[in-house]
Every structure is written in structure tokens, then in C-alpha cells.
């Protein structure tokens, strides 16, 4: 999977801004790739970039229409599918983060075949992967891990990647979920891989590299999440990352999506991640904390980060509030 | 997936006894279901049960033809497919442990549709599963875990299931791999599940049950195996088993299928399995050791088991040499 750039962002008839959060993430992190947005009647989201028709986008050189929006009720309407077909006729590929597959829409599939264009369903693996080997690889890798799902692992790794690029470092973003894949231009939806191939797919995602090179690897889930820990462990083993950043939301009481589990302590979560990571990366250690302090005021957040930085002897940042310069400083 | 019994065991043109090991396992553990074997020209395996033609099997009441054999080079020959079609015409379902899917053979698919018979590809999930919840469930569950793959987890759980049945206990075998599925009559190939649904599929495999009921759950892989640990962790969380049996082969130096990893120490492996299991089963503990001592003589094996039983303060058996009565004694 390798998406052609630049993009036209298709927002459809998004009910609200939240429904377009994938598209918004791409615009935030890849503004240079997002030439415009295409909104249909009834759309209540605005990505803050120019509105464009399909024809204007084709004229401007757009190579891929990105469907980075939730479709209402999981139904792809005729208006949507007509839009996708017209984009293909104008020479664009289509990439989608929907659960439904583009190739399951007969008119879209037929148009892609007729015009020789590609359809990318980034939630669905398009190839088979090898079994993981655990063989040592050169290069530097950083993986975001966490006490739970949905507390900023993607944002944290994107921020470090961005900071490293700004410093002229040799760095790639390695995406493991749909938004990250649109931002990186490729990647693997790790949670959609067949279980036997989790670590193998990640070994392929972030292969051996030069000694000055960094991979920023998007994390998923938590070793302590009863729904998804298998994904997290396979990702941890496949990533073979010497640098781990622990993502955490202070004050969260119940783990996301379940009823019976509180997040683990930072001590326990650091210890288990380090122990398991060392199976394939013997030097692995958690070298920074990245907190989501969005529910605190400035003074509370500052005090909380200072307390934890002192306690654990490592940088503690909130990527949104403070940036991640302290993490990159510690890495170089 | 629920297979109709009894079975006719199809051994095809198995090159040797090893190629028929799945079929042999079914015969060993479910002799009452295996009415006969069907061998083609060139078959070098013998399951030790009566040879039967398809017509004799249909007459004897066989409901399912079991393809429990590796096919040479992954190719399903015309002779094979003609045999499967004829079985279907005679009223049998067909269940296969091949990598190739039965439904991908046009003549077999057409016959099944015409005659209203079912095709079961036990390596491939046939339905979607829910996300795991980690919610507490009643009933008793035992899971085999291990220091590596392929050291007797299936055999150990089958032996305990068999011993419990012999004692009149209320017990089910919960299969997570192809041979186990043929033996249980249903189950889930956990390593073929999409990663997000590993623990959820296992929660469905061994649901809440009565207080006197036991599930014997077939383990897979190892938390220390760099290829498959994600499967093992999702299985551990989904199983919610208070009783763990640690399977181990003393003296094994390299983990199966990889080059860079030795098996963990028993201490480390017990500690990590207990820690992770307690996320969903707070009382979980390793309560017995099951060793594969097939490379030792009797005196060595006996000394080895005694030493480890004393050291860890729990039963240590070799299910093949000693049986598993000591484990069942400790459970009841």
C-alpha cells in the first residue's frame, strides 16, 4: 500500500466535526498534501482548507481522493458512490478508512478496473505477511505504548516525527492505524492482521535501516487492555524498539470500552512493557512519559508532569501543551 | 462450526505417518467417532482402523468426511476432489484442516450446494466475533500455557479432559487448533482470527458455565515466542482461566521456528503468565507442570519431574509417561 499524493479530502455529509476527525488529522499533519476538501450537501464539518470540485482537484494535480470520514449508518449512498466514480474517471485513486470496502461497491470497482486506478481500503490488509522471526535489525525505533487505548499514542509519535524532521533528522513515521496511514502515505492496520502474523507484519512495516535512522512507530492498545492486549504484544515484539514512550491519561478511571478494568499503575505498565519488549530488543526501556492532561488546567498539568518526571527520572510531557522537544533532546 | 459425527477419516495419499498426524490424533482421542479410514493409492500412512469405501461409510452412518492430512505440495488433485464430491453425493459433510479452502474447489462447492451439505474449513474462521470484554464469567477453566510452541499443550489438555470424563466430571474440551477441533467437534482456530478479536473469540469459545463445570482449553504458542506471543496473550485474557498448566520440554535450546531465542526459564514463564492472566482471572495460578520428556530415559525423566515438583511445590507430570491423574487430583 503506497498512496499517491497530493490528496483531495472527501468529507461527504459528515454529521459533525467529530465524524471528520480522520480527515482533520491528515490536514493537521500533512497540510502540504491536502490541496482541498470536497463537502456534500448536509455536511457540518469544515477542515479549514479550500473547497474544491473534483474537476478543480484534478486540474490542481490531485492524485488520490481520501475518504476520511465516518459514513452515516455504515451505508454508502448513491451520492457518495457517484462522487467516487467521478473521481476515478478524472484519474484519481481512492483511499478509504471506512469499514465497508470500496471494492464491494460494484460501480466503484467497475470504474477502477476500466480506468486502471487503485482502490485502497486502509483498514483491510491487502497482502499476506510473513511469520515474525525476532531477528535483530539495525536502525533506531521508537514505539508509543500506553496504559489504555485512545490516550494519544498516535499524536505523540506524530509530534516526535515532526520535531525530528524539523531538526533535519532521518526519520520515518510508521503507521499502524487508518489516520496514520493517510498521513504516512502507507502503513498497516495492525488490528486487522490475522493473529499469527501480527509481529511479522510489524517487522515488515519497520525494517532494518541505517544507524542514523529513526522509525516513529504508532502504538495500539495496551498490554493491560482485556480486548486488545494481543495486538499490543505482537506490535511490541515486532517493533523491536529500544525506545518506548509511555502514554497515559492521569485520572482516567475505567479503561476504554470495558466495564471491569481500571488502567494499571504507571509502575506496573512500565515494568511489563520493558520486560516484554526485551524479548526482541534487549536494551528496550521506557525513556519518557507522554500525558494527556486535557482535563486539567495549566497549573495542575504542570504540577502533574513535574511530579511524574521527578518520580520516574525521565521527561514527562503533554505533546499538545508542551510539545515533545524534551523527548527528542533525550533521544539525541 | 459444529461437526456431525461419526467420521470417516480421509488419509489421501499421505507420504508417511507424519503427514497423517492430525487424523491419527482424532483416532486416538475419539475412537468412538472414527468408523473407518479411506486411503488412496500411494498412501503410506495407516491409522489402525478399518479401511472403508465411501459407500461402506455411508451405509455405516458416517456423517462427515474428515480431511486430516497434509496434501502434497498444497495441490488438491482431481483424485482427491472426486473423492470429496462423491462423499457429498452420498450425504456426508466434509471438514478439512488444509490451508486451501474446500469452497475454492469449484466441483466440491457445486456438489455441496446441490446436495445441501456443509463444508468446514477448520483453519479458517467462518463467522465474525465480538471484541473481548474481560467481564467475569462463572464456571471453571483450565488453560495450557508453555515455554514454547509444539511441546504438548494440546495433548496435556486432552489428557486432563479424558481423565475428568473417566471420573464422571462435567467437562468440555475447548479446541483452538485444527486437530482439537476435529476431536471436540467444534472450536476456533485462534491463530487465524483477526487480531482485534482474539480475546473476544476465546470468550465465546468458553462461555460462562455452571459452578461444577470445567473447560479444558487448548493453549497456543508462548508469551515468550517472538512470532506468536500476541495470540498467546489474547488467548490467556479471553480464557479467564484460574488454573494454568505450564507445558515445557526440558533441554530444548532454541524456540521452535526461530533462530535467536532460547526458551525462557520456568520461573520467568510462570511469573509472566500468572501476572497477565490475572488481568481477567484474579485468582489465576500455575498449578501444575506438564513436561515432554520424550528425549529422556525413564530414570532421567523421573528424576527431572521429581526435582521440578519439589522445587515449584506443584505436580509435575509427563502426560504420555505418567498420565495426568496427579493434576486432576490437585484440581478436585
Q: Is residue B126 part of a domain?
A: no
pLDDT the model gives residue B260: 84
CB B158 within 8 A of CB B29: yes
Q: Are B149 and B79 found together in one domain?
A: no
pLDDT the model gives residue B231: 98
A154-175 pLDDT, tens digit each: 999 999 999 999 999 999 999 9
pLDDT the model gives residue B147: 98
Q: Is residue B129 part of a domain?
A: no
Q: How far apart are CA B137 and CA B141, in angstroms?
A: 10
Q: How far apart are CA B174 and CA B213, in angstroms?
A: 13
Q: Are A195 and A108 found together in one domain?
A: no
Q: Are B41 and B181 found together in one domain?
A: no
Helices (H) and strands (E) in chain B, counts: 11, 11
Domain boundary (B71, B93, B121) is at B121
Q: Are A193 and A269 found together in one domain?
A: yes
Contact B224 A193 (CB under 8 A): no
Residue A94 contacts B where some CB pair is shorter than 8 Å: no
CATH number at residue A28: 3.40.50.720
Determine what percent of chain A is predicted with pLDDT higher than 90. 92
Task: Provide the shortest C-alpha distance from residue B96 to chain A (in Å).
Answer: 19
Contact A227 B131 (CB under 8 A): yes
Q: Are A112 and A199 found together in one domain?
A: no
Contact B135 A260 (CB under 8 A): yes
Residue B77's pLDDT band, with cuts at 50, 70 and 90, is confident
Of B131, B200, B227, the CB nearest to A200: B227
Residue B210's pLDDT band, with cuts at 50, 70 and 90, is very high
pLDDT the model gives residue A329: 98
Q: Is residue A128 part of a domain?
A: no
Q: Are B62 and B164 found together in one domain?
A: no
DSSP state of A100: S
Domain boundary (B89, B121, B153) is at B121
What is the full per-residue pLDDT of chain A (332 aa) written as tens digits? 799 999 999 999 998 999 999 999 999 999 999 999 999 999 999 999 999 999 999 999 999 999 998 777 777 888 899 999 999 999 999 999 988 899 999 999 999 999 999 999 999 987 889 999 999 999 999 999 999 999 999 999 999 999 999 999 999 999 999 999 999 999 999 999 999 999 999 999 999 999 999 999 999 999 999 999 999 999 999 999 999 999 999 999 999 999 989 999 999 999 999 999 999 999 999 999 999 999 999 999 999 999 999 999 999 999 999 999 999 999 99
Of B191, B193, B230, the CB nearest to A233: B230
Task: Report whether pLDDT(B315) > 90.
Answer: yes
Q: Are B105 and B155 found together in one domain?
A: no
CATH number at residue A246: 3.40.50.300
Neighbours of A18 (CB within 10 A): 11
Q: Is residue B134 part of a domain?
A: no
Q: In this structure, what are the phi and psi dihedrals at residue B296, rounded to the nearest 5 degrees?
A: -110, 160
Q: Is residue B133 part of a domain?
A: no
Q: Are A205 and A84 found together in one domain?
A: no
The ipTM assigned to this model is 0.95
Residue B199 contacts A where some CB pair is shorter than 8 Å: yes
B85-108 pLDDT, tens digit each: 999 999 999 999 988 899 999 999
pLDDT the model gives residue A30: 97
Total domains in chain B come to: 2
Q: Is residue B62 part of a domain?
A: yes
Residue B212's pLDDT band, with cuts at 50, 70 and 90, is very high
Q: How far is CA B103 from CA A61, A239, B22, B23, in A?
A: 44, 36, 21, 21
Span B160-165, average pLDDT: 98
Q: Which range of residues forms the domain containing residue B71?
A: 7-121
Residue A195 contacts B where some CB pair is shorter than 8 Å: yes
Task: Report whether pLDDT(B71) > 80.
Answer: no
Q: Is residue A74 part of a domain?
A: yes
Task: Report whether pLDDT(B72) > 80.
Answer: no
CB A36 within 8 A of CB A8: yes
Domain boundary (B121, B152, B171) is at B121
Q: Is residue B102 part of a domain?
A: yes
Residue A235 contacts B where some CB pair is shorter than 8 Å: yes
Residue B138's pLDDT band, with cuts at 50, 70 and 90, is very high
Best interface-test mutation with B: which of A131, A149, A227 has the largest number of B CBs within 10 A?
A: A227
Task: Provide the shortest C-alpha distance from residue A150 to chain B (in Å).
Answer: 15
pLDDT the model gives residue B6: 98
Q: Are A301 and A169 found together in one domain?
A: yes
Average pLDDT, chain B: 96
Q: How many CA within 13 A on the CB side of residue B93?
A: 18
Residue A280 contacts B where some CB pair is shorter than 8 Å: yes
Task: Provide the shortest C-alpha distance from residue A260 to chain B (in Å).
Answer: 6
In terms of Cα–Cα distance, which of B59, B57, B48 is closest to B84? B57
Best interface-test mutation with B: which of A124, A195, A198 has the largest number of B CBs within 10 A?
A: A195
| Minimum CA–CA partner of A263 in chain B | B279
Span B21-28, average pLDDT: 96
In terms of Cα–Cα distance, which of B72, B52, B43 is closest to B8? B52
Walk across the sheet containing A243-248 and list its strands: A170-174, A213-217, A140-146, A243-248, A285-291, A316-317
CB A11 within 8 A of CB A37: yes
Q: Are A284 and A254 found together in one domain?
A: yes
Span B173-200, average pLDDT: 96
pLDDT the model gives residue A281: 98
Of A135, A224, A275, the CB nearest to B259: A135
In terms of Cα–Cα distance, which of A162, A90, A150 is closest to A294? A150
DSSP 3-state of A116: coil
Q: Are A152 and A112 found together in one domain?
A: no
pLDDT the model gives residue B30: 97
pLDDT the model gives residue B265: 98
Q: Are A86 and A186 found together in one domain?
A: no
Amino acid at each position: 500500500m503506497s498512496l499517491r499524493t497530493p490528496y483531495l479530502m472527501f468529507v461527504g455529509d459528515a454529521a459533525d466535526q467529530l465524524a471528520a476527525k480522520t480527515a482533520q488529522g491528515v490536514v493537521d499533519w500533512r497540510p502540504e498534501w491536502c490541496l482541498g476538501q470536497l463537502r456534500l450537501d448536509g455536511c457540518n464539518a469544515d477542515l479549514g482548507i479550500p473547497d474544491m470540485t473534483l474537476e478543480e482537484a484534478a486540474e490542481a494535480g490531485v492524485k488520490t481522493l481520501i475518504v476520511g470520514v465516518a459514513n452515516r449508518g455504515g451505508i454508502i449512498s448513491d451520492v457518495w458512490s457517484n462522487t467516487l466514480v467521478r473521481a476515478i474517471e478524472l484519474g484519481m485513486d481512492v483511499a478509504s478508512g471506512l469499514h465497508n470496502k470500496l471494492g464491494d461497491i460494484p460501480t466503484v470497482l467497475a470504474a477502477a478496473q476500466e480506468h486502471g486506478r487503485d482502490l485502497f481500503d486502509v483498514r483491510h490488509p491487502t497482502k499476506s505477511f510473513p511469520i515474525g522471526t525476532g531477528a535483530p535489525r539495525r536502525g533506531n525505533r521508537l514505539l508509543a505504548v500506553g496504559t489504555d487505548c485512545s490516550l494519544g499514542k498516535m499524536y505523540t509519535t506524530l509530534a516526535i516525527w515532526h520535531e525530528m524532521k524539523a531538526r533535519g533528522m532521518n526519520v520515518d513515521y510508521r503507521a499502524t492505524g487508518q489516520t496514520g496511514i493517510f498521513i504516512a502515505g502507507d502503513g498497516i492496520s495492525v488490528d486487522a492482521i490475522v493473529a499469527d502474523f501480527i509481529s511479522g507484519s510489524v517487522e515488515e512495516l519497520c525494517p532494518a535501516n541505517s544507524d542514523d535512522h529513526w522509525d516513529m512507530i504508532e502504538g495500539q492498545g495496551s498490554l493491560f487492555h482485556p480486548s486488545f492486549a494481543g495486538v499490543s504484544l505482537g506490535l511490541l515484539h515486532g517493533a523491536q524498539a529500544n525506545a518506548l514512550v509511555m502514554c497515559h491519561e492521569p485520572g482516567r478511571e475505567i479503561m476504554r470500552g470495558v466495564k471491569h478494568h481500571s488502567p494499571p499503575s504507571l509502575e506496573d505498565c512500565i515494568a511489563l512493557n520493558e520486560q516484554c519488549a526485551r524479548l526482541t530488543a534487549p536494551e528496550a526501556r521506557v525513556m519518557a512519559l507522554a500525558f494527556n492532561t486535557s482535563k486539567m488546567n495549566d497549573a495542575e498539568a504542570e504540577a502533574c508532569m513535574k511530579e511524574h518526571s521527578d518520580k520516574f527520572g525521565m521527561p514527562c510531557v503533554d505533546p499538545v501543551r508542551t510539545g515533545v522537544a524534551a523527548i527528542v533532546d533525550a533521544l539525541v
